[in-house]
Each structure stands twice: as C-alpha cells, then as structure tokens.
Structure 1
Amino acid sequence: MVAILTGDIKNSSAHKTAKWLPQLKEALGKYGNEPKAWEIYRGDSFQLETPSENALEAAVYIKASIKQTRDMDVRIAIGLGEKTYDAQKITESNGPAFVFSGECFENLKKQTMALKSASEDFDTSMNLMLQLASLSMNSWLPATARVVKTALEHPKVSQNELASILGKSQSTISEALIRAGFDEVQKMIQFYQSQLTQL
C-alpha cells in the first residue's frame, strides 16, 4: 500500500512564484526524487508518492512549509491504496491510491486536508480529526509555521535545541508549539499510523 498526495497552492496567483515554489520543492524533495516520487504541474498543483505511514506527516510538513508565507495555504488530498502501474513519472503511474487521491481532491471544497481509502470507517474517523486539526493548522502564522516545520525536521531535539536552531528563546518556541497545537497534531499523526493496520 502506498499514499498518493494530490495538492495545490491556495492564493498562489497573489504571490510571486519565486517566494513559494522553492519552499514547495524543498518540502516535496524531503520525501523522494522528482519526477519518480513527485511532480509539480499546472503551475501550482503537485503530486507526491510516499509510504502510507509517512503520508499525514508529509501533508502537515508541506502545509507548514507553504504557510511560512503570509496568506498562503495548501489543499492536500491523501489517497491510500495499491499502485498497479509504476511509471518513470508519478503523474503517469496509476492504481487505486491515485484514483482515491484524485476523487478526494475533487471533493475537498472548503476543507484543506482529507484522505480516502477503501475503508469508510477509517476515512470517517480520520477526516473528522483532520477537520478539527485544521481549525488550528489553517490559522498558523508564518512564524508559527516555521517552528512547526523545524520541529518536524528535527523530531528528536528538545525545545532548547529548537530554540538555538531558530535563534529564538525557548519560551518563544514553547509558546509557538502550543499555539500551533503541535502536541495534538503529533498525536493525530501517531493515531493515524496505528490505525493503518486496519486497511
């Protein structure tokens, strides 16, 4: 089973491409190589393949990367399933994971993050959690997003070490992570990973 993330950048036309495109490429590059694992197409749309256990963290990481620019956000649909055709370019590969991801993306509407698999029960509980998590994630300010992104890049470090990486005080880092709902987001990612065995 693989995860296919299909996404696009919200408000991309209101910002210079040079501002957000390098951040998107860097975030996608963390999870594999272009064009086998990821591609950017139609200017501000992208697709990424990742092991299913990494999918939700990858989605949160991409969101934190893009939200470092004020008034920008990303919509991401995660499809979980098989890959039945493996091409040199991800946009030419196929299988249920790709179909689920595309269908989920078409149905995002006001949501910024959702997932779809072959299990309706799994999807219902996880999508409810994603909607609740989005209440805080959608309002991350650039400074908060930067702290979240750095925390995800260095999962083993303490708040003091994060503070020195970012050149901030430990109390500033602590407040940013609380504002971001970072503990709760991490618990959601862990819950998602623990529930994958159902699929």
Structure 2
Amino acid sequence: MIAVLTGDIINSKDHKANKWLPILKQALSRYGEVPSDWEIYRGDSFQLRTTPEQALEAAIYLKASIKQVRHLDVRIAIGLGEQDYHADKITESNGTAFVRSGTCFENLKKQTLALQSDNEAFDSPLNLMLQLACLTMDNWLPAASQIVKVSLEHPEANQKELAALLDKSQSTISEALLRAGFDEVQKMMHFYTTQLTLV
C-alpha cells in the first residue's frame, strides 16, 4: 500500500513564484525524488507518493513550510491504496491510491486537508479530526509555521534545542507551539498511524 498526496497552493497568484516555489520543492524533496516520487505541475499543483505512515506528517510539513509565507496555504488530499502502474513520472503512474487522492482533492471545497481510503470506518473519524485540526492549522502565522516545521524536522529535539536551532528564546518556542496546537497535532498524527491497520 502507498499514499498519494495531491495538492495545490492557495493564493499562489498573489505571490511571485520565487517566494514559494523553492520552499515547496525543499519540502517535497524531504519525502522522495523528482519526478518518480513527486512533481509540480500546472504551476502550483503537486503530487507526492510516500508511505501511508509518513503521509499525514508530510501533509502537515508541507502546510507548515508554505505557511511561512504570509497569506499562503495549501490544499492537500491524501489517497491510500495501491499503485498498479509504475511510470517514470509520478503524474503518469496509476492505481487506487492515485484515484482516491484525485477524488478526495476534487471534494475538498473549503477544507484544506482530507484523506480517503477504502474504509469508511477509518476515513470518517480522521477526516473529522483533520477538519478540527485545520481550524487551528489554517491560522498558523509565519513565525509559528517555521517553528512547527523545524519541530517536525527534529522530532527528538526538546524546546531548548529548538530555541538554539532557531536562535530564539525557549519561551518564544514554547508559546508558538502552544498557539499552533502542536501537541494536539502530534497526538493526531500518532492516532492516525495506530489506525492504519484498519486500511
């Protein structure tokens, strides 16, 4: 089983591409190689193939990365399933994971993050959690987004170490992570991985 993330940048037209494109490329390259694992197409759309275990973290990492630029955000749909056809380019590969990711993306509307597998008992509670989490995550400001991004890059680091990495005070880190609801986001990511056995 694989996970496919289909996404695009919200408000990309209001910013020069050189402001957000390098950030997007850096974030995607954390999870694989271009063009076999990820590609950017149609200017501001992207697709990423990763493991089901990493999929939600990847989506949140992409969100934190892009939200370092004020007024930018991402819409991401996660599809869980199989890959039947392997092409050199991810955008030409196929399988149930790709179909579910595409269908889920088309149904996003105002929501910025959702997932689809073949199990409603898995999808339903997690999509509700994602909807609630996005009430906070959609409002992350650039400073908090940067701290969340670095926290995801260094999962073993404590707040003191994060403060040293970012050249900020420990209290700044602590307040930003609290405002970002990072503890709850981590609990949701952990819950997601424990539920993957259902898929």
Give the TM-score taking structure 1 as reference length: 1.00
Equivalent in the alignment of 2:121: 121
Unaligned runs of 5+ in 1: none
Counterparts of residues 39-118 of structure 1 (less than 5 Å) = 39-118=39-118
- The residue type equivalent to 1:151 in the other structure is S
**Aligned partner of residue 32 in structure 1, secondary structure:** coil
Equivalent in the alignment of 1:175: 175
- Stretches of 4+ moved more than 3 A in 1? none
Unaligned runs of 5+ in 2: none
Q: Deviations over 1:112-163 (max 9, x none)?
A: 0000000011111100000000010000000000000000000001100000
Equivalent in the alignment of 1:139: 139
What is the CA-CA distance between 1:173 and the residue it aligns to?
0.1
- The residue type equivalent to 2:173 in the other structure is I
Q: Distance in 2 between matches of 1:161 and 1:190?
A: 22
RMSD: 0.3
Q: Deviations over 1:40-93 (max 9, x none)?
A: 000000000000000000000000000000000000000000111111100010
Equivalent in the alignment of 2:17: 17
Give the number of aligned pairs.
199
Q: Distance in 2 between matches of 1:157 and 1:12?
A: 32
Q: Distance in 1 between matches of 2:42 and 2:154?
A: 32
Tell me whether 1:163 sits opposite 2:169 in the alignment: no
Equivalent in the alignment of 2:33: 33
- The residue type equivalent to 2:16 in the other structure is K
Q: Deviations over 1:87-119 (max 9, x none)?
A: 110001000000000000000000000000000
**Aligned partner of residue 188 in structure 1, secondary structure:** helix
Q: Deviations over 1:4-39 (max 9, x none)?
A: 000000000000100000000000000000000000
